[in-house]
Amino acid sequence: MGIEVKVPTLGESITEATLGQWLKKPGEAVAVDEPVASLETDKVSVEVPSPVAGTFGEAMVAEGDTVNVGAVIATISEGAAGSAPAATSAPAQAPAAPASAASAAPTQGHEITDEQAQALRLSPAVRRAVQESGVDPSALTGSGRDGRLTKEDVQKAAEGKVAQPSAPAPAPVAPASAAPVATGERREERVRMTRLRQTIATRLKEAQNTAALLTTFNDVDMTEVIAARARYKDLFEKKHGIRLGFMGFFVKAAALAARDVPSVNARIEGDEIVYHDYLDVSVAVSAPKGLVVPVIRSADRMSFAEIEGAIAGYGKKAKEGTLTQADMAGGTFTISNGGVFGSLLSTPIINPPQSAVLGMHRIEERPVVRDGQIVARPMMYLALSYDHRLVDGREAVTFLVRIKEAIEDPTRLLIDL
C-alpha cells in the first residue's frame, strides 16, 4: 500500500481545498518533504510535502477535485527506489513533449490544449502566460523544480531576455497543408474556476448586496512626491536595500487621514460600529490565480522603509504562491493600485467587513491651472469607495482631501498635519 499522503491542516476554519496540480507522477522519485501536489484554498495555494523519501505511487484524486483536511490523496512507496534519479520515467516523456508542442505552435499563438499542457507539465499560471505572450513553451528551458517552466521564464522570453532556439524555423514551411485548417478555426475552452476565483466572486457580490456602496473622486498633483522620490531613491535603496515606491507615501497619507476621519477605518458589526486605533492596510497584489490582499499591520506606526519592505515581501510571496492565510487575515482599510496596469479611473469594491477602499490610478501629464497659467502636471485620479451606512459623504470627501493635501505637500507626512 505504501505511506499515505494526507491533506495537511490548512488554517483556522478551513476544512477543504481543491487539488490544483499534481507535481509528481507515478514512478517518479520523491525526496522527503518534497512537494507532490498543490492545493488551492479560499485564499492561498498550499503545497503538500511527501512524508518520506521513496517513489510516488498512486494518485487517488484528480486535479480539480475537492478534498477534505486529513483525506488520503496519494501513496509513496518507501525504499531504495526513492534514492534513484527520476530519469527512469523522464526519458519516456521527453520525446513526447516537443512532438505535441510542435503541432500546436505555428499559427495559433500557442493556444495549447489540455493534453499538450499536461505533456509539457505546465501549471495554469504558466499556461496562461504562454497563451497571452505567444511564446513557444517547447523552445524554453525551465528554471523551476525538475526543470519545469515558470511564469517568469515565459515573461523573460516574451520580453526578449531569453533567446529561443532557431530550430523551429523550418516548421512554418513544412506544415503548409495544415495552415488552412487552423486559419478559420474557432475554439472554446472551459476551465473550472479555481477556489480562489470562486471566493473572490462570492465576496465581491456579497459586498454589493450588503453594503451601501458609493464612490467619490478627486485628483492629486504628483509633482512633489515624484521630486522627493527622485531626490532620495538612491540613498533610500542604498541604506535600506529596497526601492522607494509611491505606495509608502499613500499608506502614510491614509494613516494621517484616518485620524481625522476614523469612520473610514471602522467596520459595522451587527448594530454596533467598531473603531480601530490602528491602521491595518490590505494592499491589493496581483497573483497568478487572482487578486489577493495581504495585510500591512499597524501601518500607521511604521516607517517608509518598513512599509516598502512589507510591500516588496508580499509581492514576492504572491508571485511565488507562498502567501499564507495569516498574511491576509484581518485588515481595516484597503489600498488598490490599478495604475500599475494602466487604469485611468475605476470604482473599487470594498473588502468586507471593511468600510472603505482607496483606488490609485495611473499618473499622466494633464493641463491644469496654476497661478493663472495653464501648465502640464503629473496628475493621478483617486477614488474612495465606501459603505454609506457608516461613512457620510462629507467624511469621504474630507478623507480624500486630506490624502490630496499630504501627497501634494509631503512635508505634512513628517509633521503630522
What is the per-residue pLDDT across 22-38, written as a single tens digit (0 to 9) for each? 888 888 888 888 888 88
Please compute the mean of the pLDDT values over residues 264-277 and round it to a whole number: 94
| C-beta pairs of 114-119 under 8 Å, 24+ apart in sequence | 119/93
Q: pTM of the predicted model, to two decimals?
A: 0.62
Assess whether pLDDT exceeds 80 at residue 352. yes
pLDDT of residue 145: 60
Closest-CA residue to 28 (of 136, 132, 146, 125): 146
Return mean pLDDT, the chain. Answer: 80
Which element (helix H / strand E) includes 273?
A: strand 272-274
pLDDT of residue 301: 93
Write the CA distances from 250 to 115, 222, 288, 295, integer angstroms: 46, 11, 25, 15
Other Cβ atoms closer than 10 A to 38: 19
Which amino acid belongs to residue 103? S
Strand, coil or helix: 386: strand
pLDDT of residue 413: 82
Confidence category of residue 262, pLDDT binned at 50, 70, 90? very high
pLDDT of residue 20: 81
> Rounded to 5 degrees, what are φ and ψ at 5?
-105, 120
CB 352 within 8 A of CB 389: no
> Rounded to 5 degrees, what are φ and ψ at 101?
-70, -35
How many contiguous H segments (helices) and E segments (strands) does the chain have?
13, 19
pLDDT of residue 386: 96
Q: Rounded to whole angstroms, how far apart are CA atoms 19 and 346?
A: 34
pLDDT of residue 276: 95
Q: Rounded to whole angstroms, how far apart are CA atoms 337 and 359?
A: 6
Say whether the peptide bond before residue 353 is cis (omega within 30 degrees of 0).
yes
Q: Rounded to whole angstroms, how far apart are CA atoms 386 and 357?
A: 7
Catalytic residue (choose from 277, 388, 409, 416): 388
CA 15, distance to chain mean position in Å, is 23
What is the per-residue pLDDT across 209-241, written as a single tens digit (0 to 9) for each? 889 999 999 999 999 999 999 999 999 999 999
pLDDT of residue 97: 39
Please compute the mean of the pLDDT values over residues 353-363 and round it to a whole number: 95
Confidence category of residue 12, pLDDT binned at 50, 70, 90? low
Out of 54-68, 133-147, 309-323, 347-361, least confident range? 133-147
Catalytic residue (choose from 146, 260, 392, 409): 392
Assess whether pLDDT exceeds 60 at residue 100. no
Confidence category of residue 112, pLDDT binned at 50, 70, 90? low
CATH 3.30.559.10 fits 195-415, yes or no: yes
Out of 40-54, 57-71, 126-140, 382-396, least confident range? 126-140
Which of the two residues, 234 and 87, has the higher pLDDT score? 234
What residue spans define the domains of the chain? 3-88, 94-183, 195-415
Confidence category of residue 121, pLDDT binned at 50, 70, 90? low
Which of the two residues, 57 and 393, has the higher pLDDT score? 393
Q: Rounded to whole angstroms, how far apart are CA atoms 163 and 156?
A: 9
What b/e string do you get for 90-110 counting C-beta neighbours within 10 Å, with b at 16 or more?
eeeeeeebbebbbebbbeeeb
For the domain made up of 3-88, the CATH class stated in words is mainly beta
What is the per-residue pLDDT across 375-391, written as a single tens digit (0 to 9) for each? 999 999 999 999 999 99
pLDDT of residue 116: 55
Q: Rounded to whole angstroms, how far apart are CA atoms 176 and 227?
A: 57
361 has catalytic annotation: no
What is the per-residue pLDDT across 302-314, written as a single tens digit (0 to 9) for each? 999 999 999 999 9
Which element (helix H / strand E) includes 109?
A: none
Q: Rounded to whole angstroms, how far apart are CA atoms 368 and 377?
A: 7
136 has catalytic annotation: no
> Rounded to 5 degrees, what are φ and ψ at 291?
-80, 130
Q: Rounded to whole angstroms, how far apart are CA atoms 57 and 358?
A: 50
Residue appearing with cell numbers 505572450: 133
